[in-house]
Amino acid sequence: MSEMVFGLLLLLIWTALAAWGLTPLLASTLAQGGLVRSNYQERQLPVAVGLAFLLPALVSAALASGVGWIDRRLASTWIAASLGMALVGLLDDAAGNHLDRGWRGHLRAWHKEGRLSTGLLKAAVGGLVGLWVAGGWPVDTRFSLWGFRGGAGQLPSRLVLAMVLALSSNTFNLLDLRPGRAAKAFLGLAGLPLGISLLTNLVTWAATGVGYHSVPGLPGSLLSGPALWNQQSMWLLAGAAVALAAYAPGDGRGELMMGDSGANVLGLWAGWVWAALLPSWSWWLVASLLVSFHWYCERHSLSDWIARHPFWRRLDEWGR
């Protein structure tokens, strides 16, 4: 079984190198093709370069699934959901007018002008993807707040999970207004706890010498149902995190933009990390925090709030 872990670690290294090499090539290709957008400083930069960390992560997931290291249903669900969010984000990058701001702006365009904005389309697709993923997510009802078991206990948790995935996807769109902000938010809020979880499991295995079948979180474990799904999700998302880390320096320096095709996917991945690491009863808290964040950003400027707080301003500007 040790070959499985070493193989996954090598796959993570390949994923990071692939994202690092693909980023400048894709940025140049998109710029030459005219897929550019003005940033907050009115500089014309290639957009949708987030595909440079998406594609290696998806290839890595497909390879891990193909050799049997990751459950195929899990990998296919993750790949399909990621592609769905990336494609609707790419549509916004390529054809969005970016004049409709916030929920009120998108709904106003629909109600008064009869126009379906790309932002409203992203929200609809995000909701559908969230419902689809949540519908197949193994939910542990032993800790259900409702006290029910079986399908009755799973339904409320699945609906909340769909809300978490949809809202987290849009959250990273709201964050991606300054260079490096969305990437740093993902690495801090999702990548860090993800890394701690995986490292803890690896250290436990290395220290005890116990085979994978006895150590939760390692591939090949005899875990089943929600536990196996959640732990194997960590390996999929580790590939996503290292790909993003390899891509992030150029974004942070303001040389390129991930666009909605990247931010949408980051949000989906972040919601997936939180859902996999946290017990199902706590998804309500995550959903409440995300709703509160959207409510604030609908009425106030997040960038202005960051600028008024020195610690967050320094963190936001780090790497530029």
Best mean pLDDT range from 98-102, 118-122, 232-236, 262-266:
262-266
DSSP 222: S
**pLDDT exceeds 90 at position 112:** no
Q: The tokens of 289 are what?
A: 């925090």
Q: What is the mean pLDDT of residues 95-100?
A: 66
Picking from 2-6, 194-198, 313-317, which range would have the lowest pLDDT averaged per residue? 2-6
C-alpha distance from residue 158 to each of 13, 36, 242, 255, 276 (Å):
34, 38, 29, 39, 13
- Please list the helix, strand and coil fractions of the chain in percent, rounded to the nearest 5, in that order: 75, 0, 20
**Predicted pLDDT at 232:** 84
- The helix/strand/coil state of 99 is coil
Best mean pLDDT range from 117-126, 153-162, 306-315:
306-315
Picking from 5-9, 143-147, 201-205, 257-261, which range would have the lowest pLDDT averaged per residue? 143-147
As a whole number, the mean pLDDT across the chain is: 84
Q: What is the mean pLDDT of residues 205-232?
A: 57
**pLDDT exceeds 90 at position 7:** no
Count of structural domains within the chain = 1
Q: What is the mean pLDDT of residues 268-286?
A: 92
Q: Identify the helix (H) or strand (E) that includes residue 36.
A: strand 36-38
Residue 123's pLDDT band, with cuts at 50, 70 and 90, is confident
Residue 254's pLDDT band, with cuts at 50, 70 and 90, is very high
Best mean pLDDT range from 6-20, 47-61, 267-281:
47-61
**pLDDT exceeds 70 at position 221:** no
111: domain range?
2-317
- The helix/strand/coil state of 177 is coil
Q: What is the dihedral of CA 181, 182, 185, 190, to 10 degrees?
A: -160
Percent of the chain with pLDDT over 70: 82
Query: Going by C-beta distance under 8 Å and a sequence separation of 6 or more, which residues neighbour residue 228?
Result: 71, 221
Residue 29's pLDDT band, with cuts at 50, 70 and 90, is very high
Measured at the alpha carbon of residue 168, what is the angle toward residues 238 and 110, in degrees to the nearest 5? 140
Picking from 10-14, 138-142, 268-272, which range would have the lowest pLDDT averaged per residue? 138-142
